[in-house]
Amino acid sequence: MPEQKFMRTVRSFVLRQGRLTSGQEAALKKLWPDFGLEASDGLFDFTAVFDRQAPVTLEIGFGNGDSLATMARNSPERDFVGIEVHRPGVGHILHLIEKYDLKNLRVIRDDAVEIIKNNIAENSLDCVQLFFPDPWHKKKHNKRRIVQPEFVSLLATRLQKGGIFHMATDWQEYAEHMAEVMEAHPDFESISDSPYSKKPESRPETKFERRGLDRGHGVWDLLYRCNKA
């Protein structure tokens, strides 16, 4: 499928400058040079970044990074790249990288859409994860949701054939929106008989998931395989 033009007109996130702890600030200063990736680096060569050839998972919006770091610890045969705009979360995951000596995890602090457009090579990803993104549940804000047809088309060019786009949300209406977008896209098919899949054991519970469950929300996982020609 030819690359489709994706214009970034509406951001799917609000940049909140949370307060850094001393540990997070120290981790940013000490570890970013070795484990941070910059937009200015150009097109990422993951084989060179990780000094090996392995399947690459990209997570969009990893929050505080606990679940992503856990996945990296549990799957040393895979490489992981996490994108997050909030500095405290970036500082925290860098601390976890050092704490657990995670050689298979790198971090980006930037707009995920711009990074995917400009820095991720075509057919270079084995999996893309989007866990508990901002649901923008007010109708007038629905256009801010990151899962839109244009964004999914962009992901299809970056995923390898057979690669997985894994979404999770605790907002039923957003889950239905995700399902509608994915079911209509010609380059993806659900790995299940329905749009919704059983939560994989490999996905740890996240802070946002626990918060949603405490509020009585359900949780929906959607896993779609890239079947582009």
**Positions marked active-site:** 134
Which residues contact residue 68 at a Cβ distance below 8 angstroms, ignoring those fewer than 6 apart?
Answer: 59, 62, 80, 82, 93, 105
Q: What is the rounded CA–CA span in Å between residue 90 and residue 106?
A: 10
Q: What is the rounded CA–CA span in Å between residue 3 and residue 14?
A: 28
Give the residue carrying structure tokens 């705009």: 85
- The tokens for 50 are 């990780």
Q: How far is CA 88 from CA 24, 92, 158, in A?
A: 6, 6, 28
161 within 8 A of 189, measured Cβ to Cβ: no
197 within 8 A of 165, measured Cβ to Cβ: no
> Phi and psi for 120 in degrees, rounded to 5?
-100, 120
- The tokens for 91 are 């500082």
**In a 10 Å sphere around its CB, with 0-12 CB exposed, 13-18 middle and 19+ buried, how is residue 215 labelled?**
exposed
Q: What is the rounded CA–CA span in Å between residue 222 and residue 168?
A: 6
